[in-house]
Structure 1
Amino acid sequence: MAAEKMKSKPKQDVRSVMVSEGGYDFDFVQSPPDDLLCNICQLPARDATLSVCCGHSFCKCCMDCYLLSNTMDCSSCLYCRKENFQSFPDKKTTRLVLNLQVFCPNKSQGCSWVGELRSVEDHLDKNSTASNIGCLFTEICCSNECGVVIQRRLLEDHLKLECELRQVKCEYCDSTGSYQWINGSHQQECLKYPMECPNHCEVGHVRREEMSVHLEECPLAIVKCPFAVVGCDIVVRREERMGHMKEAVEKHVECNKEAIVELERSKTTLKEQLSAKEQELTTVKNALQKAIDDKERELDRVRNSIDAIEDKLKAKDQELAVVKVTTENLKKSIDDKEKELRKNSEDSKCELEINMKQLKEMFEQELMKLREEVKVTKQQLQHQVEINEQLQQDLQSYDIPKLLPHLIGTGNQLIPFVIKLTEFEKRKSRQESWHSPPFYTSKQGYKMHLMVKPDGLTGNSSHVSVGLFLMKGEHDDQLTWPVKGVLSIQLLNQIGDHNHGELVKYKFDECNKACQRLVHSQSYGLSENIITHKKLYTFNGKWQYLKNDCIFFRVTNFQ
């Protein structure tokens, strides 16, 4: 009992010290053997370390935490408590741990990848050479740096349809930019953007660059009377201005008379003001002439000062000549020094070439080592490809009918998916139509549903007919109308994964009413006879489409 207590106590303390450190915490295909588990964290050992005294394996990080712990006697073995504890890397255990088969960490998101533990990092890496593009279910940042974090498999649709920073073209001009900018500030400035006339005239919408010209001609614009300058304060619409001028002729004549009288008064006042200004101008002219005479005398004094400065400059020129001779002597001395330095540089160049030759030889040796490592890596990749091919063969042998209940859609599904029709005989006897749950052609695509008539298009027919109808969807405003494309539907064989019903293709033609956007609840559909009753009821060991009064339809794709 005492020995058990001594073993259990250190493990509990180390876990508290390690926090998030430890072995590989993955979802393994099979439970790892006990001899590969770390005796501290009880997970498959990461960078395994082997104890010399007892032969137990530990994670390197767990062992480092144990050795750094201040709460335990680190000089003794963690497991057997033997003194003078020693350990060394356990490469065999590390290799066996990395050979363990694990599921992808994104399994809960839908990834079905299974592989060796050593391949997980390559599988998750978006630039991996082993999987080309990495795990499709790994969350990555949008490459346009819009701030959105999204699964790699959804990135392409995001960049085309959702990203606020995707590049689009303005529908009114040739400007190109981000979706956020085009639908924001650009539309507030776009010269081709159609604007409604503020006067609500019959022209309707006018380009922003043409609005100022339009307002000068708009018949509904409010303008002043042409005689506003003489006192008419009436404002009318431009189209009513001529009528106003005809009706207010007498008023305009009276305004002109008053304006003429006022002009005469202004003329007399201006003459008096002009006379006063002329007297003021004469006074200013005399004062200005006196100021000019004073400035000329001051200018003479400045000229005398300039002559004195020129004499001083001549003396400075003589001093500069002496400095020039001294400079030439210094330049000659510098040239001699430069020649000496160039000679020393040539000697250094020879020494450098010798060093470069030695470095080249070292580089070639390292290159040979890298080539050997690449050769080993290629062999490992070839082994992984053989394992993947074996997995594909195993998947082809799975029983499709057993998987059908897990594939059936419940409404608002995305293509591809499977639809189940129950109580077939009851619906056929009543000549009753059955409507499937709605589904979308893509994440932001067209919304549709199937209408199945067990007794054919006209009743008492020899076929089962399937109609395809459009529905009002959440993304109709962002889609192109009418619908263009082909949607494929297939009747599934409930015995195995072969001999399915023929693929029926519904072609959406822009001339067909069934391809138009729904405005009211009424809609038109595309209908086809998908299989005969004779083949539906046939059971010959190869196919059986009707089983337990149920049939299955698979909506495969929309192109």
Structure 2
Amino acid sequence: MVRSITQWTKTLSFPARIAPNKSKDSAKNGQVSPNITPTPSNSSLSCHTVKNNEINYMMNNNCSSLTEVNQIYSDPESEKAIMSSVVYCIHHKEGCKWSDELRKLKAHLNTCKHDAIPCTSKCGAQIPRVLMEDHLKYTCAQRRTRCEFCNKEFSGHALDNHTGTCGSEPLYCENKCGVKIHRRHLSQHKISDCSKRLVPCRYCIKEFVADTLPTHHLKCGRVPVQCPNRCDANILAREDLETHLKEDCSVSVLNCTFKEAGCRFKGPRLSMEQHLEEYCQQHLQLMCGVVSKQQHQIASLKSALSRLSLNYSGTLIWKISDFSMKIAEAKTKEGMELVSPPFYTSQYGYKLQASLFPNGNGAGEDTHISVYIKILPGEYDALLRWPFAHSVSFTLFDQSTCPEKACNILESFIPDPTWKNFQRPSKEPDSLGFGFPKFVSHEMLKKRSFMKDDVLFIRVKVDPSKIVAV
């Protein structure tokens, strides 16, 4: 391949440079001393041999022949010095190790394996000789090769277009069924053969993945089934079978309606009506026994529930709602009394109950609220000490928004052992009890926050330190 001096000098690298100890006059006159000492250089000729601006002039004007160089350097000695300069191959960065005189570069490039030459298949590409074999085999647009799937022969450009569309290329199904199939059969596979395609159930019309459809058919409520009793009914849907057996099947064997009450009759549906008519009296007796048994169970449950709800702490917090309405009612209804839930001083202690008169009682009538404590007959009275001798206190809470400023009303007493109210109670306890007729006045209720949102809170507390139990 013929190259111009411009192509050479663009990438030339000189391994030697003329020593700088020559006289400036020699350089100015363009004379070259025969005693030239080469020194290392990478990219330029010596200033004694080639002027940089002249070389640039040749490159910029695309000088393409050695004749142009001869016209510039008519001096044979200068030409000889230039052409004898030692240079690297223009492809030394690509790995070529060649280095010799400039005059031999042209011949070297004709054989340099790193030099680019036109593709031998005439695809138009410039390819280094060392890469030509791979280019012709893999990348040349004019290469001839066969598709690995359909084995048809194509040019390189046609193969690139063919790749990705070959009907014989095996592909995995997009539904992830795990099957590999030729591209041309893929659409049909997804429609009719793929185990992961969606298929409607022929009974309920809902869609399911194809490989789960048999499992669905085992549970599908619309699958037709026959009555297991072989009755005259037509084919039924599976979801209707249970209702059919319970209500419609004429030969179904049924238990008597009064089975839970104790009747043990079992027979076909056709004979059930006759059985109910004939055994009406027996069924009535069975139901009476069931009712009696249930009444005992209800009474037992109520007793257990009442025991669970009892207070055994010795302290009762009594919430009285709608108190204004209850005072108004008490003023029109003489002797109106409110009673608290019963509570115990301990689990096996005394049973007590508080009572309150909204409009007062005795000395506090019409002016005060009266509170009392009653001793009720308890389950463990036979084991307790009598008379009742534990101190009792009543506290009316001040419901102030600032607890530090609250001023509760507290009244307490120690029972008199001689007082009848504190003896062991009979089955009909004293109707009043013992307490404070003038616990708090109606006027005092209005002065502070004793009544808030029409609610009073009263605490009744028995001193637990004196509880005596077996």
Question: TM class, shorter-chain normalised?
Answer: 0.3 to 0.5
The structure carrying a bigger strand percent of its residues is: 2
**TM-score, normalising length: structure 2:** 0.35
Give the helix-richer structure, 1 or 2: 1
TM-score of the superposition, structure 1-length normalised?
0.30
Q: Does 1 or 2 have the higher relative contact order (CA < 8 Å, sep 6+)?
A: 2
